[in-house]
Amino acid sequence: MVSLVARTGRDLQRYNRGRRLVVGCIPYRYKNGNNGGKDDELEVLVISSKKSQAMMFPKGGWELDESVEEAACRESLEEAGVVGNVENQLGTWLFKSNSRELYHEGLMFPLLVTEQLDLWPEKSARLREWMTVAKAREVCKQLWMNEALEILVNRLKSVEEKNVQPI
């Protein structure tokens, strides 16, 4: 059973040297569903901001009562309505908050989506859209998220190349 209520408040928020710890995912899938074969097109899921029309990947605060992977899964469920397998971390970035002159520390993970829900906690507050990597690069204006996307694309290409058997 999925909770249809997103967590709120900052009582359990984690900090590192005064910087709020934020965890996010790049939800992805292969358009033809064949797990990355040569003919499959990689798609990523972007969501709209609650405060503007900006598009981004799901992310939010990492709380004291959860592992970093649990936080990544929770944010993807709450904000984008997807569940899946969290994979190895893409990296850590420092970025400035849009609303304040504060810096946050953001950790990003790939999330291979296994299920997309029709109802999720922030459905009424956000739009979600599957798109190509090229389009995601255009619409996502946050530099740190685009860097994470490039790392993911390179990682997936490397895995695909290792799995290709020469004739």
Q: What percent of the chain has pLDDT above 90?
A: 69
- Domain membership of residue 76 (yes or no) is yes
The average confidence (pLDDT) of the chain is 88
- Residue 159 CB-density burial (10 A; 0-12 exposed, 13-18 middle, 19+ buried): exposed
Dihedral over Cα of 77, 80, 57, 44: its sign: positive
Asked whether residue 144 carries a pLDDT value surpassing 70, the answer given is: yes
pLDDT tens sequence across 68-115: 999 999 999 999 999 999 999 999 999 887 766 788 999 999 999 999
- Tell me the pLDDT band of 1, cut-offs 50, 70 and 90: very low
- Domain membership of residue 48 (yes or no) is yes
Dihedral over Cα of 140, 144, 148, 154: its sign: positive
Asked whether residue 53 carries a pLDDT value surpassing 70, the answer given is: yes
Domain range for residue 104?
Answer: 15-163
pLDDT tens sequence across 115-125: 999 999 999 99
How many structural domains does the chain have?
Answer: 1
Output the pLDDT for position 13.
87
- Domain membership of residue 1 (yes or no) is no
User: Could you tell me the pTM of the whole model?
Assistant: 0.85
CATH number of the domain to which 32 belongs: 3.90.79.10
